[in-house]
């Protein structure tokens, strides 16, 4: 099964994706923009991680694919809490030259549609490092996510401390946003 957006498709990650995943997992500039801590990753470790994903129903990871470029990044719904109907969301566009072309906001919109309309989740959360203003704009200006809090000096990167923004969106926020745009929920 694939989850289709307008220009992107979210699909299962495959072993054929391993080379790109390995390249991105070792891209220091890319990882400096993301919240998690990361260490150099071998091809074997990347392969083991990918194989373990297949049976994990609480942590879903998707390849972001376009017709023109193939696999351009990854998105996820992790720490899915079926009782409370919540999940964490994250994404990355692996190719720098494809950032700033609207793919990120389309991924966020497609993930929200899938999470709220197909899975019946009630809320999604994410975190963004203070200096990643492009991601902050994608979530808060182009989609209905809101900053719900700030954890001061959470990250240590580039020799200094940075805040972590906590963002969230509810199914109600999503439906109101669609209605304001004149789109059916």
Domain coverage including residue 95: 3-180
CA atoms within 13 A on the CB side of 156: 1
pTM of the model: 0.92
Domain assignment present for 138: yes
pLDDT for the residue 125: 98
* Lowest mean per-residue pLDDT among 1-10, 109-118, 168-177: 1-10
Position 184 pLDDT exceeds 90: no
Q: Is residue 22 part of a domain?
A: yes
Residue 185 lies in a domain: no
Distances (CA, A) of 12 to 74, 158, 185: 10, 34, 25
Residue 101 in any domain: the answer is: yes
Asked if residue 88 is part of any domain, the answer here is yes
| Number of domains present in the structure of the chain | 1
- For the chain, give the mean pLDDT: 92
The answer to whether position 173 is within a domain reads yes
Please compute the mean of the pLDDT values over residues 19-37 and round it to a whole number.
81
Work out the pLDDT band at 25, boundaries 50, 70, 90: confident
Per-residue model confidence as pLDDT tens digits over 98-111: 999 999 999 999 99
**Residue 135 in contact with residue 127, Cβ under 8 Å?**
no
141 domain-assigned: yes
For residue 34, what is the domain's CATH number?
3.40.630.30
Q: Is the pLDDT of residue 11 over 70?
A: yes
Contact assessment for residue 15 and residue 54, using Cβ atoms and an 8 Å cutoff: no
Domain assignment present for 142: yes
């Amino acid at each position: 099964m694939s989850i289709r957006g307008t220009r992107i498709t979210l699909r299962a990650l495959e072993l054929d994706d391993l080379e790109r995943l390995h390249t991105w997992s070792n891209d220091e500039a890319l990882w400096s923009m993301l919240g998690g801590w990361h260490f150099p990753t071998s091809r074997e470790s990347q392969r083991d991680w990918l194989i373990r994903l297949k049976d994990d129903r609480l942590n879903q990871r998707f390849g972001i694919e376009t017709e023109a470029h193939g696999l351009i990044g990854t998105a996820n719904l992790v720490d899915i809490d079926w009782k409370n109907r919540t999940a964490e969301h994250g994404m990355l566009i692996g190719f720098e030259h494809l950032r700033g072309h609207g793919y990120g906001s389309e991924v966020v919109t497609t993930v929200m549609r899938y999470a709220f309309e197909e899975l019946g989740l009630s809320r999604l959360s994410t975190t963004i490092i203070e200096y990643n203003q492009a991601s902050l704009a994608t979530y808060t200006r182009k989609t209905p996510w809101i900053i719900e809090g700030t954890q001061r000096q959470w990250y240590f990167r580039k020799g200094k401390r940075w805040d972590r923004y906590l963002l969230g969106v509810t199914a109600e926020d999503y439906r109101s946003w669609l209605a304001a745009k004149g789109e059916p929920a």
